[in-house]
Structure 1
């Protein structure tokens, strides 16, 4: 069984404050894009994970945690062998690990012939990580709470992007922990983008309340952001906690030209387009 796990960008992301459980309250618009990890899942008598990034072949990998969660609930000792090919950059604000976990939650009930309950699936996704519930369906969605409240925005708007980033891994928890009280916002900017999308238009980009903290902690991310702003005059944001930055492009040709310029400056860079809900 071959399963695709797409990356995401945050078209807008606001941090509203800190919750009693230690997490942060957010409101965000997430969009799945065409940078995709691939999971090849086959029957086995035990759980096994092989990854194109050997450092990820560990018991704490979200793919194995998702499989173990399904075992605990319904599957007993059933196993599988998962070969994970990574294309999504690691710790880059693109949600790769969370998407891999959601792909596992979608695929294994089919492989193991388990009862499929959307309620149970959402609960398991929530327990695995804040971004995992969004990736169960993908597309375009308004995401609230710590990530557990997901409202899919109907309709599909194809949009091309150029993405670029410095060659470094960023800790999401560290960036969230560095957000200052004065940098919290009320969510209105993000909800305005959602309203434009609900009305059937292009939503554009909102804000990212994590950018100030990211730039303080990782000056290389700010340098990359400034570099892509010199390459294109299009709207530009950091995705998630970074360090990936992305810009809206009017065509694939424009996106490819911008990616080439960023690569020549030493950044990793690529093009991508938006994906609809439930794209496999």
Structure 2
């Protein structure tokens, strides 16, 4: 069975408060995009795992393996030959590894006829990572608490164009959090997103940008260049280092971001 785990972008990301368990409560909108990996699994005599793609990290493989092992605790899972082709940049604020794990759960559910509900699949996914559960339903969601609780949000960007740039800069997530002072924003993110996209620039904020841009000013340059090119809205996704722009109409700008990974596609 073959499936294509897709990436997501964060539209707004507010760090609200530090929790007693050491995590942070946050608010964000997760929006799925067409950039994807390819994940194949077939029953085999002996379990095997092969990955192809630049920058593969062991944690990326482990997350898919952990998804298999997690379901194997409660269900009979045969040995599988798994092949993962990475198209989503690693550690880029796009949720690629989380998507792979969640799609693995969904694939096993279909392959083995486990009849797990979406809620049950989300419960498994939450054990693997904060944003894994998002990819079970894989529709625009307002996320809250640790980023693992979701409610549907009436946001559609269908027909608009996304241009995404990843310069391959490693951003330390702990360092990104250390640079943020948690605070309740003056305007609730859901209310801000309900307004026209033309007003998002001032009201829909990624709290990580301030400290991450100070450490990596080239990311701020990318964001400004996207606005200069006519973006309706531009932002860093997650804790970086991907930066994207949302456009009404867009001609390719691939040549303007040399030595960077770029992706362009229509939003749904």
TM-score (norm 2): 0.88
- What is the aligned partner in structure 2 of residue 234 from structure 1? 232
- What is the aligned partner in structure 1 of residue 222 from structure 2? 224
Matches within 5 A, 1:99-138: 99-138=99-138
- What is the aligned partner in structure 1 of residue 253 from structure 2? 258
Say whether the 8 Å CA contact 1:160–1:273 is kept in structure 2: yes
1:4-59 C-alpha deviation (Å, 9 max, x unpaired): 11111111111101111111111111110010111111112444321113743568
Residues of 2 paired with 1:174 and 1:60: CA distance? 24
TM-score (norm 1): 0.84
Q: For residue 188 of structure 1, give the secondary structure of its aligned residue in structure 2.
A: coil
Does residue 168 (structure 1) correspond to residue 169 (structure 2)? The answer is yes
- What is the aligned partner in structure 1 of residue 41 from structure 2? 41
Shift of 1:192: 1.3
Unaligned runs of 5+ in 1: 276-280
More helix by share: 1
Task: Give the aligned CA root-mean-square deviation in angstroms.
Answer: 2.4
Does residue 72 (structure 1) correspond to residue 73 (structure 2)? The answer is yes
Say whether the 8 Å CA contact 2:118–2:137 is kept in structure 1: no
Question: How many matched pairs?
Answer: 263
- What is the aligned partner in structure 1 of residue 265 from structure 2? 272
Shift of 1:189: 4.0
- Relative distance call for 1:240 and 1:58 in structure 2 (3 A) is closer
- What is the aligned partner in structure 2 of residue 278 from structure 1? none
